Structure 1
Amino acid sequence: MEQKTALVVGARGVIGGNLIEHLEALGEWDIIGLSRRGGDDRERVRHIAVDLLDREATAVALRGLSHVTHVFYAAYQDRPRWAELVAPNMAMLTNVVDAIEAVAPALEHISLMQGYKVYGAHLGPFATPAKESDPPHMPPEFNVDQQQFLERRQVGSTWTWSALRPSVVAGIGLGNPMNLAMVIAVYASMSKELGIPLRFPGRPGAYTSLIEMTDADLLAKATVWAATTPAARNEAFNITNGDLFRWSTMWPEIAAFFELEVAPPLEMDLTEVMADKEELWNAMVERHGLVATPYSDVSSWAFGDFVFAWDYDVISDASKSRRAGFHEYVDTRAMILRIFGDLREQRLIP
Structure 2
Amino acid sequence: MTQEKTQAAAEDGTKTVLVAGAGGVIGRHVADEYARRGAQVRGLSRRPVTGARWDHLPVDLLDRDATRAGLEATRDTTHLVFGAYIERATTAEQIQVNSALLTNALDGLEAADAPLRHVTLYQGGKAYGAHLGYFNTPARERDARLVQPNFYYDQEDILRAAAAERGFHATMLRPEGVVGYAVGNPMNLLMVIAVYASICRELGQPLRFPGTHAAYDALYQVTDASLLARATVWAGSEPRAAGEVYNITNGDQIRWRHLWPVFARHFGMDYAEPQPVPLADAMPHHEDLWQGMVSRYDLVPTPFEDLAGWSFGDFLFRSGFDNVTSTIKARQHGFEDCLDTEDRFIELFDRLAAERIIPPLG
Q: Normalised by the shorter chain, which TM-score bucket?
A: over 0.9
Q: Does residue 262 of the first structure (1) align with residue 263 of the second (2)?
A: no
In 2, the alpha carbon distance for the partners of 1:13 and 1:167 equals: 15
In 2, the alpha carbon distance for the partners of 1:133 and 1:303 equals: 27
Question: 1:156 aligns to what SS in structure 2?
Answer: helix
**Equivalent residue, structure 1, for 2:297:** 288
8 Å Cα contact 2:50-2:183 kept in structure 1: no
**Equivalent residue, structure 2, for 1:315:** 324
Q: Does residue 301 of the first structure (1) align with residue 294 of the second (2)?
A: no
In 2, the alpha carbon distance for the partners of 1:220 and 1:202 equals: 29
In 1, the alpha carbon distance for the partners of 2:86 and 2:74 equals: 24
**Equivalent residue, structure 2, for 1:233:** 242
Q: Does residue 38 of the first structure (1) align with residue 48 of the second (2)?
A: yes
Q: Does residue 192 of the first structure (1) align with residue 204 of the second (2)?
A: no
Q: Does residue 18 of the first structure (1) align with residue 29 of the second (2)?
A: yes
1:46, CA displacement in angstroms?
A: 0.7
1:229, CA displacement in angstroms?
A: 0.5
Change (3 A) 1:223 1:239: same
Note the residue ranges of structure 2 that are not aligned, 5 or more in a row.
Answer: 1-11
1:105, CA displacement in angstroms?
A: 4.0
Change (3 A) 1:256 1:207: same
Name the % identity. 44
* TM-score in terms of structure 2 length: 0.93
In 1, the alpha carbon distance for the partners of 2:52 and 2:96 equals: 34
In 2, the alpha carbon distance for the partners of 1:18 and 1:10 equals: 11
8 Å Cα contact 1:66-1:105 kept in structure 2: yes
Amino acid across the alignment from 1:116: G
Amino acid across the alignment from 2:169: T
Aligned-residue CA RMSD in angstroms? 1.4
Which deviates more from structure 2 when the two are superposed, residues 73-82 or residues 6-15?
73-82
Q: 1:1-350 alignment to 2 at 5 Å?
A: 2-27=13-38, 29-39=39-49, 45-350=54-359
Which deviates more from structure 2 when the two are superposed, residues 203-212 or residues 57-66?
57-66
1:178, CA displacement in angstroms?
A: 1.6
Question: 1:122 aligns to what SS in structure 2?
Answer: coil
In 2, the alpha carbon distance for the partners of 1:101 and 1:334 equals: 43
8 Å Cα contact 1:37-1:50 kept in structure 2: no
In 2, the alpha carbon distance for the partners of 1:66 and 1:182 equals: 36
1:144, CA displacement in angstroms?
A: 1.3
In 1, the alpha carbon distance for the partners of 2:355 and 2:90 equals: 34
Change (3 A) 1:40 1:170: closer
Note the residue ranges of structure 1 that are not aligned, 5 or more in a row.
Answer: none
In 2, the alpha carbon distance for the partners of 1:132 and 1:276 equals: 42
1:294, CA displacement in angstroms?
A: 1.5
Question: 2:319 aligns to what SS in structure 1?
Answer: coil
Change (3 A) 1:103 1:156: same
1:39, CA displacement in angstroms?
A: 3.4
In 2, the alpha carbon distance for the partners of 1:173 and 1:38 equals: 12
Which deviates more from structure 2 when the two are superposed, residues 149-158 or residues 306-315?
149-158
Amino acid across the alignment from 1:138: V
Question: 1:311 aligns to what SS in structure 2?
Answer: coil
In 1, the alpha carbon distance for the partners of 2:198 and 2:85 equals: 28
1:40, CA displacement in angstroms?
A: 5.9
1:103, CA displacement in angstroms?
A: 1.5
Q: How many residues align?
A: 348
How far does the alpha carbon of each residue in 1:193-212 deviate from its partner, in whole angstroms, 9 at most, with x for none? Answer: 00011110111100000001
* TM-score in terms of structure 1 length: 0.96
8 Å Cα contact 1:130-1:316 kept in structure 2: yes
8 Å Cα contact 2:159-2:170 kept in structure 1: yes
8 Å Cα contact 1:114-1:163 kept in structure 2: yes
In 2, the alpha carbon distance for the partners of 1:229 and 1:111 equals: 12
In 2, the alpha carbon distance for the partners of 1:262 and 1:255 equals: 6
8 Å Cα contact 1:177-1:300 kept in structure 2: yes
1:84, CA displacement in angstroms?
A: 2.7
8 Å Cα contact 2:184-2:302 kept in structure 1: no
1:191, CA displacement in angstroms?
A: 0.4
Question: 2:32 aligns to what SS in structure 1?
Answer: helix
Amino acid across the alignment from 1:98: D
8 Å Cα contact 1:174-1:299 kept in structure 2: no
Which deviates more from structure 2 when the two are superposed, residues 189-198 or residues 131-140?
131-140
